Structure 1
Amino acid sequence: MDSRNVLLSGVVGSTAYGLAGPGSDVDRLGVFAVRTEQLHGLGRPPESLVTTAPDRTLHEAAKWCRLALTSNPTASELVWLPGELYEVRTPLGEELIGIRGCFASAAAVRGAYLGYAAQQFRKLCHKREAGTAPSARLAKHARHLVRLLEQGVTLHRTGELRVRLQDPDRVRELGERLAERPDRAESLLAAAEEQFARPGVLPQEPDPAPAEAWLRRVRRAHWTAAEESE
């Protein structure tokens, strides 16, 4: 991929949350744009590019917007990273950060963050009962469960996705305890559900208009670039 097509990219995952340990992978996430002329043929260009050395996922601009409009936790964190974690930050990437508030909605945030946390809970319980995973893997599921609940509730209350956890050590310690007794997580899930049931600041529906306008600017910019390169 031509690096000029990457609009925004940064370090995400455990490094961004403040949970990285000595053996943690460094995960990267980004948004890229295809040449606009590629969208006019019979074939469709890839919507995501994934590599493992380094660990990097790039979503094409339209796909990233669709994910963000459903409040997908992994995709959404890209536009809420601490500034020092961005590695590529183009003018169009800056614009995307500038409209980040249009993507989240109350129902989607509740469904996504509670849903992903419940998924981690099921994995934690299953692997604990089956004895198929080392304690470190169980603790990782538990940490992600706690993180998703904290981030989701804060986003619901404030409209801000706080990627960097306020107290990573507390989350690590709680993760270790939940890995030993997964049933203790049930009260965390119930408390989060109660918080989501209370009024928050998010709208009932996302506002796709700014995302649509941004995507059209991306298409215009990359159509011009294609013509100039010929």
Structure 2
Amino acid sequence: MRAVTWTPLITGTVGSHAYGLATPTSDMDTLGVAAAPTEAFHGLHAPTGKAATQVSTDPDVAVHEAGKFVSLCLSANPTVTELLWLPEDCYQEVHPLGRELIALRGSLLGAERVRNAYLGYATQQFRRLRDRGTSFSSNTAKRTEKHARHLLRLVRAGMSLYLAGELPVRVDDPQEYHDFGRTVAEDAERGLALAEATLAAAGMAMDSKPSALPDEPDKRAAEAWLLRVRAHFFQTAGVAA
């Protein structure tokens, strides 16, 4: 059977280069959403589940099929959500249907889902910091700085989404994040306390004010977009043997 080709809908540079936090050793990460031919969902090897994500390395590229991508957006997955909020100079390729999806980005968010997802991912970073112990090797210090920067970025991004309905992917003051990372890495006990306090403050901020987001994402709008994608990429010829 011939290989099934996915059509890119959005491809963008993500990670530290998009955040404005890249260092000379930072990898270039690319994330994308693409559409499989609609006919592919009627065969024996439908692009769903694990098969709905294509990953390659050197360079690092991850591409989610449109259906999986939208599902991840509806759960407020931070990594996926940021693709729809990138600075314009980070987009490598945008199909008209991808532009439609970007226009829908606010409709895909729900307050509690955003709170749980962003604080949940930030908590994962905190646990990584805690599990570093008291090792002060150069490699450990670099990883600790990175996890600390991600923690601060996640809580700031989550608060902005939850309270203002906007996701600032590129940070305003990169030096603040690098300084935060070094502070956490240089003193294990003090750094862990600072990271924990930062995480706790974000939770309190979200709990103290009403969210700018609706209670639930607009699943009808998401499904309508996905059906337009399926209709656009429908072919009557079928998959050739």
TM-score range, shorter chain: over 0.9
Whether 1:40 and 2:42 are equivalent positions in the alignment is yes
Pairs within 5 Å for 1:1-230: 5-45=7-47, 46-129=51-134, 134-179=140-185, 180=187, 181-197=191-207, 198-224=209-235, 227=237
What are the superposed Cα offsets for residues 64-123 of structure 1, whole Å, 9 maximum, x if unpaired? 000000100000000100111111111011001011111111101110010110110010
For 1:73, the aligned partner's letter is P
Question: Using the alignment, how far apart are the partners of 1:64 and 1:166 within structure 2?
Answer: 28
Distance 2:237 2:31 in 1: 28
Q: Deviations over 1:125-157 (max 9, x none)?
A: 111346685200110000000000000001111
Contact kept? 2:4, 2:36, Cα under 8 Å: no
Structure-2-length-normalised TM-score: 0.90
TM-score, length of structure 1 as denominator length:
0.94
Unaligned residue ranges in structure 1 (runs of 5+): none
**Identity in percent:** 46
Q: Which amino acid aligns with 2:217?
A: P
In structure 1, give the amino acid aligned to 2:20.
G
Q: Distance in 1 between matches of 2:197 and 2:160?
A: 18
Poorly superposed stretches of 4+, deviation over 6 Å: 1-4
Task: Give distance in 2, aligned partners of 1:3 and 1:222.
Answer: 11
| Aligned residues of 1:11 and 1:27 also touching (Cα < 8 A) | yes
Farther-moved stretch of structure 1 (50-59 vs 129-138) = 129-138
**Is the contact made by 1:7 and 1:90 (CA closer than 8 Å) also made in structure 2?**
yes
Alpha-carbon separation, structure 1, partners of 2:184 and 2:60: 28
Q: Determine helix, strand or coil for the equivalent of 1:31.
A: strand
Alignment root-mean-square deviation, CA: 1.9
Cα distance between partner residues in 1 of 2:157 and 2:62? 21
Q: How many Å separate the matches in 2 of 1:138 and 1:116?
A: 16
CA contact (8 A) 1:17 1:164 kept: yes
Is the helix fraction higher in 1 or 2?
Answer: 1
